[in-house]
Amino acid sequence: MPTFSDPVWQKPQTAPAFQSELSSDGTLDAVIVGGGIMGLSTALYAARAGLSVQVLDAGAIGQGASGLNGGQVIPGLKYDPERLIEHFGKERGEALVDFAASTADAVFDVIRDEKLAVPFTRNGWIQAAHTETALKAAANRDRQWRARGADVKLLDRAEIAAMTGAKGYLGGWLDRRAGVIDPLSYTLELARVASAVGAGIAEQQRVVRLTKEAGVWRVSTQGGAELRATRVVLATNAYTDGLLPGLAQTIVPLHSFQIATAPLPAELAASILPGGQAVSDSRRILVYYRKGPDGRMVLGGRGRMAPPSSAADWAHCERALLRLYPALAGIAVEKRWFGRVAMTPDHLPHLHEPEKGLLAVVGCQGRGVGLMSALGKRMAGYLATGDVSRLPFPLSPIRPIPFHAFRQVGVAATIAWYRMLDALER
Ligand SMILES: Cc1cc2nc3c(=O)[nH]c(=O)nc-3n(C[C@H](O)[C@H](O)[C@H](O)COP(=O)(O)OP(=O)(O)OC[C@H]3O[C@@H](n4cnc5c(N)ncnc54)[C@H](O)[C@@H]3O)c2cc1C
């Protein structure tokens, strides 16, 4: 019987436990709270730059969003280049567009350069349009990225049907910079290489208190360990707790639910995503899908706000899969799991430094595999040099969302409303 969170990504038997010894002697250059892609990418590049760093995670490496996600490596941010330049001004906007363009490279480059044992396919991501409005948005996006030399292409109805094998799309957009990975292997492999270059990594170490004495941070864990560091980076994202007052109230954590089918029979597998691309569709409550390990179909979408209590809580994912691929009727769904995604009101990641040497990064809008890999590298650059221009986004004050406690109720109602609108457009 599957349990109620049973990911398709499996920790390799050979994956080590990360239990670096915590010493209260001396002062580290940085303690990183959170061992997901953000924390580990920061640790890897900071250690490579010669800094002494220690990562502490409340649980096991990969238990957060980084080990649970869909493994779609998608460049770009929520906004297209022209909107970013309009919002941030020419200089920062252009730099941000370059950063956004590079986020998928950050993943595939580290896999190549550090020889990470991560299954991947780099054959692109398709944004599939199911309405004329979505098609127009795709054409606009295509124009903007093509003008910047990106390897992208607009797809017509016949092309998208051939590439996806799915029903119901009018066309779409192919971004060849993108690809798919096994996200749990990627996270564990980042931890392995970060540790190999000297970063300490410790699991089951929840940080419960941060205090500052004479310019040095004292980091206390639930188990009673005390570390000292000149900088602390909170890389806790959607799993942010009360460690830094107000931070959790700057994001709305949403649940993303995923399913994986049994391995598909060869003939059926050949008719679905033969090129191995990832897909997200254009619905308000979008679904995203790809082929996964052993030729399974993996599909995800927004889930209910309360933790799931039965397999029925994934029924919307199963319906979406059959709507796209009626031929999958009768193929068993073998895996169901979920994780938390951090949304910010402006749909951009937020970087904070509320006190000197105390940094926090939150908000990836469900697109953090590339983003957090690239952002971690930039954060390491900032830690190593103190040059704030290494960070692609401006540091901003921590601004809790007004009426945060009621926000999730509002989100649940909005999701239900959007689902209904999506159903009407079918
Ligand atoms: C179901 C799902 C599907 C997704 N699909 C995709 C996708 O296909 N493509 C994509 O780009 N993005 C996707 N995302 C988003 C992506 O997974 C995240 O943006 C990314 O993994 C965030 O990485 P992170 O390191 O910032 O956070 P996380 O990986 O969530 O790590 C945060 C860590 O902080 C730790 N922590 C929290 N509090 C403390 C504390 N007090 N002390 C110590 N440790 C603490 C937690 O244990 C956790 O391990 C998906 C997310 C989910 C949930």
Domain ranges of the chain: 28-124+177-390
Closest CA to 207 of 172, 243, 174: 243
125, 237, 255, best to mutate for ligand 1 pocket (most atoms within 8 Å of CB): 237
Q: Which fold has domain 28-124+177-390?
A: FAD/NAD(P)-binding domain (3.50.50)
Distance CA 300, CA 311 (A): 14
Residue 292 Cβ < 6 Å to ligand 1: no
Distance CA 61, CA 58 (A): 9
Residue 372 Cβ < 6 Å to ligand 1: yes
Distance CA 159, CA 153 (A): 11
The alpha carbon of 214 and the centre of ligand 1 are apart by a number of angstroms equal to: 33
Distance CA 282, CA 134 (A): 6
Residue 69 Cβ < 6 Å to ligand 1: yes
Distance CA 240, CA 68 (A): 16
Residue 237 Cβ < 6 Å to ligand 1: yes
Closest CA to 103 of 50, 37, 187: 37
Residue 363 Cβ < 6 Å to ligand 1: no
Residue 300 Cβ < 6 Å to ligand 1: yes
CA Rg value for the chain:
21
Q: What is the pTM of this model?
A: 0.95
Distance CA 342, CA 346 (A): 12
What are the CA-CA distances from residue 331 to residues 168, 263, 264, 265, 270 (Å)?
21, 9, 8, 9, 15
What is the chain's pLDDT, residue by residue, as a tens digit (426 residues)? Answer: 445 789 999 888 888 889 988 988 999 999 999 999 999 999 999 999 999 999 999 999 999 999 999 999 999 998 999 999 999 999 999 999 999 999 999 999 999 999 999 999 999 999 999 999 999 999 999 999 999 999 999 999 999 999 999 989 999 999 999 999 999 999 999 999 999 999 999 999 999 999 999 999 999 999 999 999 999 999 999 999 999 999 999 999 899 999 999 999 999 999 999 999 999 998 766 899 999 989 999 999 998 888 899 999 999 999 999 999 999 999 999 999 999 999 998 999 999 999 999 999 999 888 999 999 999 999 999 999 999 999 999 999 999 888 676 666 666 666 665 565 565 555
